[in-house]
Amino acid sequence: MPMVTVRPYSQAIDRLRSAGLRPTRQRLALARLLFDGCDRHISAEQLHSEALTSNIRVSLATVYNTLHQFTDAGLLREIVVDAGRSYFDTNTGDHHHFFYEKSGRLCDIPAEMVGLTKLPEAPAGFNISRVEVIVRVDG
Amino acid sequence: MPMVTVRPYSQAIDRLRSAGLRPTRQRLALARLLFDGCDRHISAEQLHSEALTSNIRVSLATVYNTLHQFTDAGLLREIVVDAGRSYFDTNTGDHHHFFYEKSGRLCDIPAEMVGLTKLPEAPAGFNISRVEVIVRVDG
DNA sequence: GTGTTTGCAAAGTGTTTGCAATTTA
DNA sequence: TAAATTGCAAACACTTTGCAAACAC
């Protein structure tokens, strides 16, 4: 087993490259903010201000573009629960969500915590692309 | 069994009165558009243009206010699946939805078509207010 | 060098708000 | 008449777009 050093930069570069995205300074910085820690649900504005706080000079427009590029590339999943605000989920695996109605916060529910035993068939000519379970809680 | 005549106006008036809302001309007209036919998923803009088409003079702001008042009164349920657009569902009973990703349309799934056998507990101190299942289809 | 990406500012979309005029009870 | 409701236009929040300058390869 070879000695391994953590190399966040090259990890992020590889991630972008395999997604077919040029590893520009902005995309790299945003990727590290998004993927270097634990899973998160983040809005464009939040990510933008985190970037500024971390001294990463990036425009809000670029944050939006980047989030959509990452989503199209399968690196993120977009979640809409609240009118007029999109969240981007760094967890693209099979799972569900708690939604805290007052605070607007989201929280993951692992797929195995939900028993879905019956589902209707997709309408003729359509395919089910995803089944989302949202458990709304009143706080 | 008494002889019964369909009286849409007084039905709508009663519905508003029991919800604690004054039966104004605008609210009555919108209530009839919303509740006189089958269940629907409708946006504010859609309802507004339906009203205009039916020669009901009502402003878009009033449509928004009315939809929210109806929602608060339990006559409607608000659904958000798509970034930046709210739908209002005239079916307030227990049910779920197909969401057609391309067209943005919604379609009801009766509760008994979905088998939900296991759910996580609500986080301590919170209550589950609703469980939404959204079946996304790719068309 | 060439094509891609960025930043800016402007435009766009859907929604909410403040307030005077109108309507309801 | 008193309180609730409406319409308008302006304000809003969030998101997208057009285009020249900067950057990656």
DSSP label at B96?
A: E
pTM (predicted TM-score): 0.89
Taking only the tens of pLDDT, chain B with its 139 residues reads: 555 545 567 888 999 999 999 999 999 999 999 998 899 999 999 999 999 999 999 999 999 999 999 999 999 999 998 888 899 999 999 999 999 988 889 999 999 999 999 999 999 999 999 999 999 998 8
What pLDDT shows up at residue B12?
87
- 8 Å CB contact of B114 and A120: yes
- 8 Å CB contact of B113 and A118: yes
- 8 Å CB contact of B117 and A119: no
Q: Is 60 exceeded by the pLDDT of residue A6? A: no
Question: In this structure, are strands B85-89 and A85-89 parallel, antiparallel, or unpaired?
Answer: unpaired
What pLDDT shows up at residue A2?
53
Nearest to B128 among A86, A116, A135 (CB): A135
> In which order are the strands placed within the sheet that holds B41-42?
B41-42, B85-89, B77-82
Domains and CATH numbers, chain B: 40-137 (1.10.10.10)
CA A115-A118-A122 angle, to 5 degrees, is 125
**Which one, of B104, B22, B17, lies nearest residue B65 by Cα?**
B22
Q: Is B102 touching A (CB cutoff 8 A)?
A: no
Nearest to A126 among B114, B119, B138 (CB): B138
What pLDDT shows up at residue B18?
92
pLDDT digits (tens, 9 = 90+) for A47-65: 999 999 999 999 999 999 9
* A2: CB partners within 8 A, 6+ apart: none
Read off the pLDDT of each residue in A112-139 and give the average, rounded to a whole number.
94
CA–CA gap between residue B28 and residue B34 (Å, rounded): 10
**Which one, of B127, B92, B129, B128, lies nearest residue B111 by Cα?**
B92
**Model confidence at A15, in pLDDT bands (50, 70, 90)?**
very high
Give the 3-state secondary structure of chain A: CCCCCCCHHHHHHHHHHHCCCCCCHHHHHHHHHHHCCCCCEECHHHHHHHHHHCCCCCCHHHHHHHHHHHHHCCCCEEEEEECCEEEEECCCCCEEEEEECCCCCEEEEEHHHCEEEECCCCCCCCCEEEEEEEEEECC
For residues B139 and A125, the answer to whether their CB atoms sit within 8 Å is yes
Give chain B positions within 8 Å (CB) of A129. Answer: 101, 136-138
Q: Which of A126, A128, A131, A138 to mutate to test the interface with B (most CBs of B within 10 A)?
A: A126
For A28, the token pair is 């790299």
